[in-house]
């Protein structure tokens, strides 16, 4: 057990600490009741160590047994279980004595907002010349936007849609307000190696998926995006058949009062050839010439016009973040955010996806951390900086809760010193089975080099976990840095650290149950977050944004 493994280290700390720091007095409490500390000693004391003792496996279990229960129906965003989870978190914040900083009339501990349930409506059509094509066999769309009325589109061909130093498919093109046609994949040499690959020959971000290309096109201000896959191993028909059931299901999106994001569509190769008035041989020759030169070439073909209608239906759905606030002392206008997400996948085919690890573990830790800091404040040892405990909704659907908070912050993001995000800290992934206790720390030096230093110093002094930075590699295909709520803070220049145990066989399965949670490991990881938060909230100078790593 972890407590046994840490005992020698704790004894060593006690030996080195001032006399007043050694005599911690705890009182027994009834189950489900927050423990209290005895009278603080008169001499110097390590308050971080003292209040971290309030972060316990028993307390974490108390909260998780509620959040991961069948009563909460998998906590699907905008549904009964997610509302129950937000209400539970808010009630725990209030009971612990945290302030409710939210402006919402529905209660100061909740930040309510609207999502839209968006679905493709029947009747989508696409026509090139006299040829008519069928949804989804010949074309399909992704994302929240479509063309509700039949629209004539004259796309601009932009090759692979790559935009980086030394290679730009957009050079000399003004595509603002226009429609673009983009090839899937990336340029490759005759031997099949990606032209822009790192020394190991692996695929780049341009070839792994379409997100980088979408981001580049959106930055150019395009009206719509059409992808076509001419790769020899591409199989549009198989892909379309595989995703057809998902296309028929509604998806969630933030309700927008401004312009919608551009529509995104995928075209079968036959549609692409028709649109470009060309054939497979001519396209293959052009791509080979591009690879041989190592630079984009002017295409020998120009897209024709197409007519498209792909309407969407929209239904408004309410949801909410939960917020708890511990006001600081002499630096109270500077805010540290600690975040987790309380939503999960709901009920699928009659099975409840309880999400005990993802992210019941992080949400339970968030509540327990808030309780510990609230108790410190009650005892007169509260943090110098203020701390916002932020439990967000909609992470599984697209990081919606954190995106909404970042766009409508209760406290200015310019005053926010960092976000510590806790998403899955209750299990062990296959890479660490049988090894010492660990936690992945992601993104801690991408914006602020000092943040990583703080995490490591607190870990060295208190928790002694193995810190794994594997997922900081920008070439990591999992792209975890972009897949949890810290990212919406990082996107606004706020330093972040993401604490994570990695994925396992029960990730996003109905088998992610509380019975499989390793509470000793969860306690140790939560305590590392506590110590890191304590250090950031109490240091003399806020950490600086001094780096911009990919």
For the entire predicted model, the pTM comes to: 0.81
215-to-207, 220, 484 alpha-carbon distances in Å? 14, 9, 18
Q: Give the integer Cα–Cα distance in Å for 547 and 451.
A: 11
For CA atoms 503, 506, 512, 514, the dihedral sign is negative
pLDDT, residue 25, reads 34
- Segment 104-145, tens digit of pLDDT: 666 899 999 999 999 999 999 999 999 999 999 999 999 889
pLDDT tens track of the chain, all 550 residues?
333 333 233 323 333 333 333 333 333 344 445 555 555 554 589 999 999 999 999 999 999 999 999 999 999 999 999 999 999 999 999 999 999 998 766 689 999 999 999 999 999 999 999 999 999 999 999 988 999 999 999 999 999 999 999 999 999 999 999 999 999 999 998 888 899 988 877 888 898 889 899 999 999 999 999 999 998 888 999 999 999 999 999 999 999 766 678 999 999 999 999 999 999 999 999 999 998 999 999 999 999 999 999 999 999 999 999 999 999 999 999 999 999 999 999 999 999 999 999 999 999 999 999 999 999 999 999 999 999 999 999 999 999 999 999 999 999 999 999 999 999 999 999 999 999 999 999 999 999 999 999 999 999 999 999 999 999 999 898 999 999 999 999 999 999 999 999 999 999 999 999 999 999 999 999 999 999 999 999 999 999 999 989 8
- Segment 146-181, tens digit of pLDDT: 999 999 999 999 999 999 999 999 999 999 999 999
pLDDT, residue 260, reads 75
Residues 538, 382 contacting (CB under 8 angstroms): no
Q: Give the integer Cα–Cα distance in Å for 267 and 499.
A: 39
Q: Give the integer Cα–Cα distance in Å for 305 and 156.
A: 10
346-to-72, 192, 315, 507, 508 alpha-carbon distances in Å? 9, 42, 19, 14, 10
Written as one string, the DSSP assignment of 222-259 is -SEEEEE---TT--HHHHHHHHHHHHTS-EEEE--SSP
Q: Can you give the C-alpha Rg of the chain in angstroms?
A: 26
pLDDT, residue 258, reads 66
Q: Strand 416-422 to strand 331-341: parallel, antiparallel, or no bridges (unpaired)?
A: parallel
pLDDT, residue 536, reads 98
pLDDT, residue 4, reads 32
pLDDT, residue 219, reads 94
Q: Give the integer Cα–Cα distance in Å for 373 and 438.
A: 24
pLDDT, residue 321, reads 98
Q: Give the 3-state secondary structure of residue 140.
A: strand
pLDDT, residue 31, reads 40
pLDDT, residue 528, reads 98
pLDDT, residue 38, reads 57
Interior/surface letters 484-523, b for 16+ CB within 10 angstroms, e for the rest: bbbbbbbeeebbbbbbbbbbbebeeebebbbeebbbbbbb
From the list 129, 126, 181, the residue with the least C-alpha distance to 307 is 126
Residues 325, 99 contacting (CB under 8 angstroms): yes
Written as one string, the DSSP assignment of 365-427 is HHHHHHHHHHHHHHTT---SEEEEEEEES-HHHHSHHHHHHHHS-SS-GGGEEEEEEE---SS
């Amino acid at each position: 057990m972890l407590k046994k493994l840490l005992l020698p280290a704790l004894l060593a700390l006690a030996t080195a600490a001032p006399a007043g720091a050694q005599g911690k007095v705890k009182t027994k409490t009834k189950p489900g009741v927050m423990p209290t500390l005895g009278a603080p000693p008169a001499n110097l004391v390590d308050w971080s160590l003292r209040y971290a003792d309030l972060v316990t496996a028993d307390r974490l279990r108390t909260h998780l047994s509620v959040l991961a229960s069948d009563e909460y129906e998998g906590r699907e965003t905008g549904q009964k279980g997610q509302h129950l989870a937000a209400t539970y978190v808010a009630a725990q914040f209030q009971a612990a004595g945290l302030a409710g900083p939210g402006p919402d009339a529905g209660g100061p501990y909740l930040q309510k907002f609207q999502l839209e349930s968006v679905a493709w409506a029947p009747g989508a059509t696409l026509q090139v010349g006299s040829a008519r094509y069928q949804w989804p066999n010949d074309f399909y769309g992704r994302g929240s936007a479509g063309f509700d009325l039949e629209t004539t589109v004259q796309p601009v061909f932009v090759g692979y849609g790559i935009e980086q130093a030394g290679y730009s498919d957009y050079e000399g093109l003004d595509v603002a307000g226009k429609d673009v046609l983009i090839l899937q994949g990336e340029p490759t040499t005759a031997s099949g190696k990606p032209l822009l690959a790192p020394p190991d020959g692996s695929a780049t971000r341009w070839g792994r998926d379409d997100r980088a290309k979408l981001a580049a096109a959106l930055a150019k201000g395009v009206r719509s995006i059409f992808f076509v896959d001419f790769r020899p191993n591409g199989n549009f028909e198989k892909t379309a058949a595989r995703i057809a059931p998902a296309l028929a299901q509604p998806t969630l999106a933030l309700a927008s009062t401004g312009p919608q994001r551009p529509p995104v569509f995928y075209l079968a190769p036959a549609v692409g050839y028709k649109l470009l008035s060309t054939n497979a041989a001519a396209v293959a020759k052009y791509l080979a010439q591009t690879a041989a030169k190592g630079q984009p070439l002017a295409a020998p073909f120009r897209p024709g016009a197409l007519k498209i209608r792909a309407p969407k239906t929209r239904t408004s759905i309410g949801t909410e973040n939960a917020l708890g606030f511990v006001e600081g002392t002499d630096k109270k206008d500077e805010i540290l955010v600690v975040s987790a997400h309380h939503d999960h996948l709901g009920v699928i085919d009659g099975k409840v996806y309880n999400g005990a690890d993802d992210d019941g573990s992080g949400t339970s830790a968030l509540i327990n951390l808030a309780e510990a800091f609230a108790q410190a404040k009650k005892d007169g040892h509260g943090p110098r900086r203020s701390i916002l405990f932020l439990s967000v909704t909609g992470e599984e659907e697209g990081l919606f809760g954190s995106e909404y908070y970042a766009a409508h912050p209760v406290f200015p993001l310019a005053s926010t010193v960092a976000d510590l995000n806790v998403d899955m800290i209750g299990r062990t992934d296959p890479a660490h089975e049988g090894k010492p206790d660990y936690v992945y720390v992601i993104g801690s030096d991408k914006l602020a080099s000092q943040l990583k230093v703080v995490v490591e110093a607190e870990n060295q002094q208190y928790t002694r976990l193995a810190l794994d930075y594997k997922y900081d590699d920008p070439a990591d295909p999992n792209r975890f840095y972009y897949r949890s709520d810290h990212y919406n803070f990082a996107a606004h220049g706020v330093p972040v650290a993401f604490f994570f145990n990695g994925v396992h066989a029960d990730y996003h399965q109905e088998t992610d149950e509380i019975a499989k949670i390793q509470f000793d490991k969860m306690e140790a990881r939560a305590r590392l977050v506590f110590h890191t938060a304590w250090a950031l909230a109490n240091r003399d100078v806020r950490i600086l944004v001094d780096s911009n790593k990919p």
